[in-house]
Amino acid sequence: MASAPVSSAAPQLSTTAPAGHSVVPIDLGERSYDILIGDGLLKAESFAGLPRSAKALIVTNTTVGPLYTAQLRAAIAPLHQQVLDVELPDGEQYKDWPALNQVFTKLLEEAADRKTVLYALGGGVVGDMTGFAAACYMRGVPFVQVPTTLLAQVDSSVGGKTAINHPAGKNMIGAFYQPLRVVCDIDTLDTLPQRELLAGLAEVIKYGPIADAEFLSWLETNLDLLLARDRAALRHAIQRSCEIKAWVVGQDEKESGLRAILNYGHTFGHAIEAGMGYGAWLHGEAVGCGMVMAADLSARLGLIDEATSQRIRALVERTGLPVQGPDLGADRYIELMQVDKKAEGGEIRFVVVGPLGQAGMRGAPDAMVRDVIAANVR
Amino acid sequence: MASAPVSSAAPQLSTTAPAGHSVVPIDLGERSYDILIGDGLLKAESFAGLPRSAKALIVTNTTVGPLYTAQLRAAIAPLHQQVLDVELPDGEQYKDWPALNQVFTKLLEEAADRKTVLYALGGGVVGDMTGFAAACYMRGVPFVQVPTTLLAQVDSSVGGKTAINHPAGKNMIGAFYQPLRVVCDIDTLDTLPQRELLAGLAEVIKYGPIADAEFLSWLETNLDLLLARDRAALRHAIQRSCEIKAWVVGQDEKESGLRAILNYGHTFGHAIEAGMGYGAWLHGEAVGCGMVMAADLSARLGLIDEATSQRIRALVERTGLPVQGPDLGADRYIELMQVDKKAEGGEIRFVVVGPLGQAGMRGAPDAMVRDVIAANVR
């Protein structure tokens, strides 16, 4: 690889307690916390040891709220005198200031103090917004992630990246702010639409090329089980994804180096999302397609061979995710990628793979980027 | 004092270099920085050693911008290839999301990356908003405080508290985010309206009762010089204020204890500001009046004698600041104070003084609070 940082071998899979849930620790000094992964975790035991407070606020959306708010409310009732909730509109297009402000308004109307605990119940949008609300309300209150989508369980709820979108860029306004705990109840995936399950699998697949070639092989072998929502397969996939993410985030909490590899597929993906208007493509769909483009770029840069690039493309395609981007025009792709947070001084920095199971960041010649775009849009 | 935390003796005044500027260090580990205080500091030397970057953004307002942007731009030109600026509307009533979003929009329009340095050029509102914008833009970019009001130089630019207001509460949305440096150019006070000078003196006076009885005596002796903008007197007052603030913030960056004493006068003061509508009273005017009320409360609680309470009142009055609050009704005062960030579980926590030069936090009987309000409004 031409440029640092390069990931090296991720840690081995930890042993799963035979009955019960798995625990993946995130080691961030005084901001360390655990990810709990298992079935039936929306119960009091999963929240034991978290801070008690007069008030708590469950932040959810109009889709997830009716399904799980009552269960979560019962689970955290032992910790709080009053459990409030607020339902935000559902969708990436509402990951914005007006929706965020609904949380602040609710907290202030209820005279919620600095010890109030926020619970994020939902997918990535709810998690990112709740985390950012917690980071900002009275300059910081504690929060807990209860992700109910595969994407949130394997990626967005872990690691403390919180944000809202700006019309000119995705996740441009946010904070690094760690939760006190992440509770991933696999049962909540039962109600997840298939399209969102597939979008979540894009972020699962991501961990193979960037950190664990064996996991990529495991995914190729077990994809049908995952698509059929086999509990054991899902649990393994979630746990391994969280372990790799924990290992990366533990080394680089604030994305000054290694952590950027988690954005594999995201530079092209963000351009697709922004270019189509937030919400048209699901984030995971854009990332899936973005990984195909980034694999192609890696091959053109000579970091992996063409067969490996095709292998990544084939897995994304078998998953049912788009492998061709919208034809926005190369200029527009490049313009949108230059606004990405990973750009520096206008130079676009791509997460590239090579050899398989390792990743790094680097720029690429403009002509090559245009070739990648031309070859992967329709 | 009945309850912790209680401040004890603040450090001695440090020696001022005979010619040149004073430096007050803020000790916060890897977030440590210096406050520079002196005349003629809007020059390159004051910014030496700060990070170089392709872009920088000066955030100022429509009043201060025309006076000092050109000077600051020249001073930081050696560090940046391009220095942008954005002028926000002037006033506490614009310390809100739409104004903050102007900063984000400007940064995104200019494709400003994560290394972009923000410079806050103005008073407390500009400083708080710029700091919060820096905390949130791409999850955090560096920023420098260049306060041009007395209030900002002695209080708001130091210590990393950043925020915007919400219609339901002042400074309710924000972050603890430290600047890289604070440059206090006393020359910029030449253009400060007298009403704002007086408002700034409220925050200067504050440091006496809570931390340094000798400084209170010095203020009583030198008030006329300060009101006449005597350079040496101003420099001493700013330096001593910053030293005391640095000492407090260095012990309690995130206001879990001691730091709350810096809010002396602010609980009543916030109620006045919110009750009258932000902008009707200057923050320092509300704090001045709030200190009189908090001193009265401290006397009623038996923590200081009535003469000491009157001494604080007399200094506030001689400064030309209001010593009687608006008659909002006791219920409204209490309602507004319960939303204050220092309230916990609905109980209002007041910063009280006693003995003179030390402060602590405690609740007070409802009837006593009502007596204080009744005795100090008109």
* Residue of B165, B171, B263, B376 with catalytic role: B263
Do B113 and B237 belong together in one domain? Answer: no
Q: What would the mean pLDDT of B170-196 be, rounded to a whole number? A: 96
Provide the 3-class DSSP secondary structure of residue A307.
helix
Determine contact: A111 vs chain B, CB below 8 A. Answer: yes
For residue B178, the domain's CATH number is 3.40.50.1970
Answer for the pair A258, A251: CB distance below 8 angstroms, yes or no: yes
User: B229: buried, middle or exposed (CB in 10 Å: 19+, 13-18, 0-12)?
Assistant: middle
Do B171 and B40 belong together in one domain? Answer: yes
Answer for the pair A324, A376: CB distance below 8 angstroms, yes or no: yes
Do B118 and B200 belong together in one domain? Answer: no
Contacts of B115 in chain A (CB under 8 A): 344-345
> According to the model, what pLDDT value does residue A18 have?
42
A203 is in an annotated binding site: yes
Q: Is residue A25 part of a domain?
A: no
Do A359 and A236 belong together in one domain? Answer: yes
The ipTM, to two decimals, is 0.90
A161 given a catalytic annotation = yes
Do A270 and A202 belong together in one domain? Answer: yes
In this complex, which of B173, B343, B346 lies closest to A136 when CB atoms are compared? B173
Cβ within 8 Å of residue B45, ≥6 positions away: none
* Residue of B266, B311, B341, B362 with catalytic role: B266
Q: Among the three residues A144, A174, A191, which one is the final residue of a domain in this structure?
A: A191
Do B229 and B363 belong together in one domain? Answer: yes
Q: Is residue B66 part of a domain?
A: yes
> According to the model, what pLDDT value does residue A134 have?
98
> According to the model, what pLDDT value does residue A16 have?
45
Q: Among the three residues A129, A162, A191, which one is the final residue of a domain in this structure?
A: A191
Q: Is residue B2 part of a domain?
A: no
Encoded amino acid at B133, one letter: A
Answer for the pair B319, B196: CB distance below 8 angstroms, yes or no: no
Residue-wise pLDDT tens digits, A262-271: 999 999 999 9
Contacts of A176 in chain B (CB under 8 A): 139-140
Structural domain count of chain A: 2
Look up the domain containing A226 and give its range. 194-375
> According to the model, what pLDDT value does residue A1 have?
40
Q: Is residue B15 part of a domain?
A: no
Do A134 and A164 belong together in one domain? Answer: yes
- pLDDT tens across the length of chain A (378 residues): 434 344 444 555 544 444 579 999 999 999 999 999 999 999 999 999 999 999 999 999 999 999 999 999 999 999 999 999 999 999 888 999 999 999 999 999 999 999 999 999 999 999 999 999 999 999 999 999 999 999 999 998 989 999 999 988 889 999 999 999 999 999 999 999 999 999 999 999 999 999 999 999 999 999 999 999 999 999 999 999 999 999 999 999 888 889 999 999 999 999 998 899 877 899 999 999 999 999 999 999 999 999 999 999 999 999 999 999 999 999 999 999 987 766 666 789 999 999 999 999 999 999 999 999 999 999
Q: What is the mean pLDDT of chain B?
A: 93
Q: Is residue B117 part of a domain?
A: yes
Residue B168 in this model has a pLDDT that exceeds 90: no
> According to the model, what pLDDT value does residue A360 have?
95
For residue B359, the domain's CATH number is 1.20.1090.10
Angle between helical axes of B194-211 and B213-227 (0-180°, round to 10): 170
Do B186 and B258 belong together in one domain? Answer: no
pLDDT band at residue B16 using 50, 70 and 90 as cut-offs: very low
Do B47 and B85 belong together in one domain? Answer: yes
Q: Is residue B203 part of a domain?
A: yes
Do A173 and A321 belong together in one domain? Answer: no
Of A158, A161, A159, which Cα lies nearest the Cα of A171? A161
Q: Is residue A213 part of a domain?
A: yes
Residue in this structure with the two tokens 């940082």, named with its chain if needed = A5
d(CA A218, CA A198): 17
**A349 to chain B: nearest residue by CA?**
B113
Of B378, B205, B176, B373, which Cα lies nearest the Cα of B284? B205
Do A123 and A151 belong together in one domain? Answer: yes
> According to the model, what pLDDT value does residue A345 have?
67
Q: Is residue A19 part of a domain?
A: no
Q: Among the three residues A191, A225, A258, which one is the final residue of a domain in this structure?
A: A191
pLDDT band at residue B19 using 50, 70 and 90 as cut-offs: low
Residue A198, beta-bridge partner list: none
DSSP designation for B149? S
Do A148 and A292 belong together in one domain? Answer: no
B230 is in an annotated binding site: no
Per-position b or e across A60-95, b if 16+ CB within 10 A of its CB: bbebbbeebbebbbebbeebbeebbbbbbebbbebb
Contacts of B108 in chain A (CB under 8 A): 166, 168-169, 172, 339
